[in-house]
Amino acid sequence: MNARSPRLVRGAILGVLLLVGVSIAWTYRRSAPAARPSPSPSASPSLGIPQIAGAARTQNLVFTQVSGADSKFKLTAGEMVGKEEEELRLRTVDFEFDYMQKGTKHKGHVVADECIYTPTLQKAVFQGHVKLTTDDGAELRTEQLIYRGDKQIARSELPVEFRRQTLSGAAKGFEYQGQEGKLEMNGDVLVRAEPQGKPPLEIRSQRAVLLREEGTMRFTEAVQVDQAGDRLTTDRFELDFGEDQVIYRARAIERVVLQTSSALTPGAAAAGTRHLKCRKLDLWFRPDGSLQEATAVDEAVLTTAAAPKEPPERRRLEAGVITFKFDGEGRLEGLQTLKETTFTATPLPPNKGAVRTLKCARMTGEMDPVTGQPKRIEFDKDVVFTEGKRRGTGQKAFFDGAKSELFLDQGPQLVDGDQGSDLTAQGILIGTGTGNVTANEQVRHLLKNTGRAGGAFLGHTDEPILITSRFLEYTAKTRTARYWEGALLRTGSDEIRAVEVRLQDQQAGARRLEAEGSVISLLHPRPDTPEARAPAVVEARSKKMVYEEGKRQITYEGDVAIKQGDIATRSPQAWIVLTADGQRVESMTAGDTVEVVQGNRKARGSKGIYTPRDEIMVLTGDHVVLQDPQQKVEGRSLTFHVGDDRILVDGREQVRTQTIIRAQQKEPPSP
């Protein structure tokens, strides 16, 4: 049922008042005098019905009665076919009457094949082609219409049909109790509205009750409301109206199912079918009849299909309470839930996306009235978002429909089982369509470091990678994470510090690390054997660093300074190559132009290569210089034997003074 339905159902109430007109027509003062028809016998002064003596058959009878200036009736019968005790039997009856409605005088008209009238009981039974009409276009048809004036009851035990302008209806029978202002329709009840230019609206049930004093009309037993492909089914459907007969509230109670698919459905221009189930659906209307608010309570479940241009999927919203808010044109503009709320989006073939779910305690959403799509949704308390193996949590979350972004707040965490990722920050923003992620303030990102191509990151097979920074930006398309402002990467005892760190998952499964701005790296090579002494820490400083996991190579650029033990180098660029398992340094290369310092010894050349395994540093270039306090050596190449202090220059061996070297260090240098 769409937003226009209440306006149409309001007309149903007016149509039902046709039945009330029957009782109004027969409710007269007993003491009202009757006009004397001519040449008919005199009428009874108390009942307005002539006393007929002897004659069993009288033709062309006319009875009139006037009560004041505003009330009168005229009864014409083609003939009276008999009298049995108190009953008068009339045929070809034409009954005209006046009645008041909302302070206005109206005229009514009843015709029937027969009428049995009992004056003492003020009982009239119209039978055969009974038709009641009023001057405002109301019409009632039935084969039987019974009225008891003494009890103010009008009823029919035979099928009845009524119509008023664009409104019509039917039932297998009805009863109106004037004193209580109660109207009952029983058996195959139908109320149908056909507004101009709009699809018809039908309400069906097995029973309907109008309580005038309470301002309520109730449809019960197998209730079904239909309009243009939209259908509401329920055990009970109630309409509340004011003194002006305008409906301000409607309720569907017990086993409520609402199926919508027509263009009249709010947001249907962009959305697919919608299916709502709940125990109770409460509808509120504006004075102009437009739908203002609808609330579904007790295990409410709303299932919708994606819009035609969206990837096919089934969307399901479950909550203890779901409230829909509509604008003046009956379009959905707001959504609110209370009590355990769950949203699930399940892809349908050929859509191969992952299932998405979101759970929270309550939700408040702002919708686009034109498209029916969400503009902004707020999720509150114990928020859990999942997509495949990705899981986000927080105490609050906000969804931006225009950007398709979900922001997790208040203790947020995002865990990705596929990537082995665990992210926390003060705030986490997820692109639900792109898969992009950004985080801000106190970023802490833990990454799995096992089962990767080419060995684990920096040779750490057991320890995860921990990255901290102020900000994080992850781009799903390139599989690149960017960390900046105080970025720190640590795995095991190794760490890298920089203004900005970028970590990319490459197609082969290996990672590429880039660090820029005051880069500091501390690497702890493993010993060759468990019994061997661990090599000294390799400390490097530069403006930029690149580590390619697949190539096992680290590149430093810009004012590079590398130190291991008592050997330090300075150069514009440097390269470190790791062993196949990534746990040890295979070689270090520095250039173009490199300065090497070991204790008091200083050397300079175009290029330097150090191999920790044999503790040899080789400097090459057109002019290689070695200088210490005792001597200066020049040549085209220079080889340091770190372990025994030998130096080879251009193939000639020169040994420096042993006492000077050993005075500068307490133990033999180690790579």
Distance CA 581, CA 255 (A): 65
CB 4 within 8 A of CB 198: yes
pLDDT per position as a tens digit, 36-68: 333 333 333 323 334 333 344 577 888 776 555
- Interval 458-513: pLDDT, tens: 777 778 899 999 999 999 999 999 999 999 999 888 999 999 999 998 876 788 99
Has residue 5 been placed in a domain?
no
Residue 603 is assigned to a structural domain of this protein:
yes
* Structural domain range at position 638: 457-663
Count of C-beta atoms within a 10 Å radius of residue 576? 25
What is the DSSP annotation of 321-376?
EEEEEE-TTS-EEEEEEESSEEEEEEE-TT--PPPEEEEESEEEEEE-TTT--EEE
Name the residue among 661, 639, 664 with its Cα closest to residue 651. 639
Contact indicator for 257, 275 with CB cutoff of 8 Å: yes
The reply to whether 29 falls in a domain is: no
Tokens 């105080």, residue? 486
Q: Are 572 and 544 in contact (CB under 8 A)?
A: no
Phi first, then psi: what are they for 518, rounded to 5°?
A: 50, 55
Model confidence band, residue 308 (pLDDT cutoffs 50, 70, 90): confident
- Return the percentage of the chain with pLDDT > 70, whole number: 82
- The answer to whether residue 571 sits within a structural domain is yes
- For the chain, how many structural domains are there in total? 1
The mean pLDDT of 80-90, rounded to a whole number, is 81
Residue 381 token pair: 């308390």
When pLDDT is averaged across residues 411-432 and rounded to a whole number, the result is 92
Torsion of CA 403, 405, 407, 413, to 10 degrees: -160
Write out pLDDT tens, residues 528-566: 777 878 888 899 999 999 998 888 899 999 999 999 888
Q: CA gyration radius for the chain?
A: 47
pTM of full prediction above 0.85 = no
Q: Flag whether 577 is in a domain.
A: yes
What pLDDT was estimated at residue 206? 96
* CA 518/CA 67 separation, integer angstroms: 106
Segment 8-12 mean pLDDT: 34
On whether the CB atoms of residues 104 and 124 are closer than 8 A, the answer is: no
Rounded CA-CA distance 624/654 in Å is 15
Tell me if 65 is assigned to some domain.
no
Residue 345 and residue 388: Cα distance in Å, rounded? 11
Task: Report if residue 222 sits inside a domain.
Answer: no
* Residue range 330-357: mean pLDDT, rounded: 90
CATH no. for residue 474? 2.60.450.10
What is d(CA 317, CA 634) in angstroms, rounded to the nearest whole number? 81
Work out whether the CA dihedral 181, 182, 185, 190 comes out positive or negative: positive
The better pLDDT of the pair 5, 533 is held by: 533
Amino acid (one-letter) located at 175: E
Q: Angle 585-590-593 (CA atoms, 0-180°, nearest 5)?
A: 165
- Residue 491 domain-assigned? yes
CA 554 to chain centre: 47
Lowest-pLDDT choice from 227-236, 420-429, 660-669: 660-669
Place of tokens 């000077």: 660
- Measured CA to CA, the distance from residue 643 to residue 665 in angstroms comes to 12
Q: Please give the Cα distance from 275 to 510 (Å, whole number).
A: 47
User: Where does the pLDDT of residue 663 fall: very low under 50, low under 70, confident under 90, or very high at 90 and above?
Assistant: very low
Banded model confidence at residue 452, pLDDT cuts 50, 70, 90: low
Q: Tokens 């009524």 correspond to what residue?
A: 162
DSSP 8-class letter at 50: B
